[in-house]
Copies of this chain bind each other. A is one copy, B any other.
Amino acid sequence: MKIGFIGLGNMGSGMARNLIGAGHTLTVYNRTRSRAEPLAALGASIAETASEAATGVEVLITMLADDRAVEEIVFGPGSVLHSLPVDAIHVSMSTISVSLSQRLAEAHREKRQAYIAAPVFGRPEAATAAKLFVVAAGAAAHLARCRPLFEAIGQKTFVIGEEAPMANVIKIAGNFMITTVIESLAESFALVRKYGIDPNTFLEVLTGSLFPAPIYQTYGNLIARDNFATEHVGFKLPLGFKDNRLVLAAAEQVAAPMPMASLIHDRFVAALAQGLSEADWSAIARVSYRNAGL
């Protein structure tokens, strides 16, 4: 398939690579051009502008950092909205707000272009290994056409329904679930540590009994180690904060109070006040630790 791919960050690079590996023809675009070059070496064309990356393609994939980046690409000057062919599909894989996804759906409808929201779960390692989980929503026919692409980058695709922005709701709600795991581990580890118990002992009980999920293992290890400054950073704290803002905004839009999300909001603010803006988002655990005198 002839694919335009915009956004070659930690996640996008791995995904684009896997699409090339699956035999697709990619035209890639990234604001910082140097990140595109390794893909050119694998056969991708490099577009000079976002608009160019959308020209003449069957599918345009965007994998960008946040709402602002997507708005700039789609609605800004030299917008892809004007270069994307009629009937081509824009597959938005970024973690963006529900309201932006709603605006995208409408804008593409007006231009008689197709729109799918297909955000993903997984950290950069999973993107590289084609092990992402894809959460997709849009018209059934469009989803069917994109299915091979999802299979090239992920281990599993969940189809949510016809209304694209609902995939974004699911993605945002899923990220919220992850932050609640982080916060609950932080609070319970603070508790056991104050009793002199190694948090790894507690973590082994959890993951060896009722919580045998990788998410508990991954974050449990990071939080037990309590060394956020020098650790490998999978997902930066300000990005996690952004995602928490997304869930609060989505919740506000439909009037669903989410006190746990509010609590976690305060954790992110406190973590930033403690200078943790370069740490992994699991570093919000430091707030629980510190408030417990640890």
Contact = CB atoms under 8 A, between A and B. Distances in A.
Interface of A: 98, 121, 133, 135, 156, 158, 160-161, 166, 169-170, 173-174, 176-178, 180-181, 183-185, 187-188, 190-197, 201-202, 204-206, 208-216, 247-248, 250-252, 254-263, 265-267, 269-270, 272-275, 287-288, 290-293
B177 A188 contact: yes
Contacts of A187: 176, 256, 258-261
Contacts of A273: 255-257, 291-293
Nearest to A207: B213
Main secondary structure of the interface of A (DSSP, over half): helix
A258 B194 CA distance: 12
A176 B188 contact: yes
A270 B266 CA distance: 15
B274 A252 contact: no
Contacts of A190: 256-258
A269 B251 contact: yes
Contacts of A258: 187-188, 190-191, 266, 269, 288
A205 B158 contact: yes
Given A133-B209, A270-B291, A293-B274, A201 B170 contact: yes
A86 to B, nearest CB: 29
A177 B211 contact: yes
Given A176-B188, A204-B158, A262 B260 contact: no
Contacts of A275: 293
A183 B252 CA distance: 18
A251 B287 contact: no
Contacts of A272: 255
Given A209-B133, A212-B213, A293-B273, A173 B188 contact: yes
Given A135-B205, A263-B263, A256 B213 contact: no
Contacts of A181: 184
A38 to B, nearest CB: 28
Given A213-B212, A266-B258, A170 B205 contact: yes
Contacts of A183: 180, 260
Contacts of A252: 269
A119 to B, nearest CB: 11
Contacts of A292: 254-257, 270, 273
B213 A160 contact: no
Contact of A266 (B156, B202, B262, B293): B262
